[in-house]
């Protein structure tokens, strides 16, 4: 059984950086998995001309297995549940994006708040560039310091969904 939590926010808000910091803290003593949503199909994972790139472009499902990692390249959309099954056992699953999934969620903002994220979130993580009161941030959202990953981990340990 592991803890699952999601992170959401506009592009450039610091989601990836925060998830990376959290994973670096947790990974030495825990099994950590990360799911990243790429709604625009913009992510690049391989280099043209290399075997995995060439294999993937045949239309096949491709897994690259090495002593330090396994990477799956797939042409099929997979549900988050299917991805969780691929990971097997984990202590923490950190999900970036996928705001419609029913998961405990931390909205991340830097510079300005976008209220359309509030209905999907239980917490908000910001830095000093955001004035939460001026933005009309609901008091029902827990408030976290974007630059304090340990604080965010404490929130995760308390509120993450157990699966």
**Domain regions of the chain by residue span:** 3-41+79-162
Of 31, 9, 34, 6, the closest CA to residue 115 belongs to: 9
Cα separation of 3 and 101, whole Å? 15
Strand-pair partners of 5: 94
Confidence of residue 109 (pLDDT cuts 50, 70, 90): very high
Q: Would you state the pLDDT for residue 84? A: 76
Give the tens place of pLDDT for each residue, 112-146.
899 999 998 999 999 999 888 878 889 999 999 99
Instruction: Tell me what the mean pLDDT of segment 1-9 comes to.
Output: 92
Give the tens place of pLDDT for each residue, 67-107.
777 777 777 777 777 877 887 788 998 888 877 788 999 99
**pTM, to two decimals:** 0.84
The torsion angles phi and psi of 157, rounded to 5 degrees, stand at: -60, -30
CATH architecture assigned to 3-41+79-162: 3-Layer(aba) Sandwich (3.40)
Higher pLDDT, 98 or 10: 10
Q: Would you state the pLDDT for residue 45? A: 61
Q: Is the pLDDT of residue 43 over 60?
A: no
Q: Is the pLDDT of residue 5 over 90?
A: yes
- Listed in sequence order, the residues at least 6 apart from 113 whose beta carbon sits closer than 8 Å to its beta carbon are 124, 126, 130, 132, 135, 136, 137
- Listed in sequence order, the residues at least 6 apart from 70 whose beta carbon sits closer than 8 Å to its beta carbon are 63, 64
CB atoms within 10 A of CB 148: 14
Longest dimension (CA), the chain: 53
Q: Is the pLDDT of residue 52 over 80?
A: no
- Listed in sequence order, the residues at least 6 apart from 47 whose beta carbon sits closer than 8 Å to its beta carbon are 53
Confidence of residue 16 (pLDDT cuts 50, 70, 90): confident
């Amino acid at each position: 059984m592991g803890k699952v939590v999601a992170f959401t926010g506009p592009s450039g808000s610091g989601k990836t950086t925060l998830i990376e910091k959290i994973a670096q803290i947790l990974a030495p003593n825990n099994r950590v998995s990360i799911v990243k949503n790429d709604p625009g199909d913009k992510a690049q994972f391989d280099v043209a001309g290399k075997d995995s790139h060439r294999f993937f472009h045949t239309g096949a499902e491709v897994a690259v297995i090495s002593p330090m990692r396994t990477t799956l390249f797939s042409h099929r959309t997979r549900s988050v549940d299917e991805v969780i099954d691929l990971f097997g056992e984990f202590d923490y699953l950190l999900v970036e994006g996928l705001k419609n999934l029913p998961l405990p969620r931390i909205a991340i903002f830097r510079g300005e708040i976008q209220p359309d994220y509030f209905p999907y979130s239980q917490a908000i993580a910001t830095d000093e560039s955001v004035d939460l009161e001026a933005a009309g941030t609901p008091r029902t959202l827990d408030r976290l310091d974007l630059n304090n990953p340990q604080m965010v981990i404490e929130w995760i340990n308390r509120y993450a969904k157990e699966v």
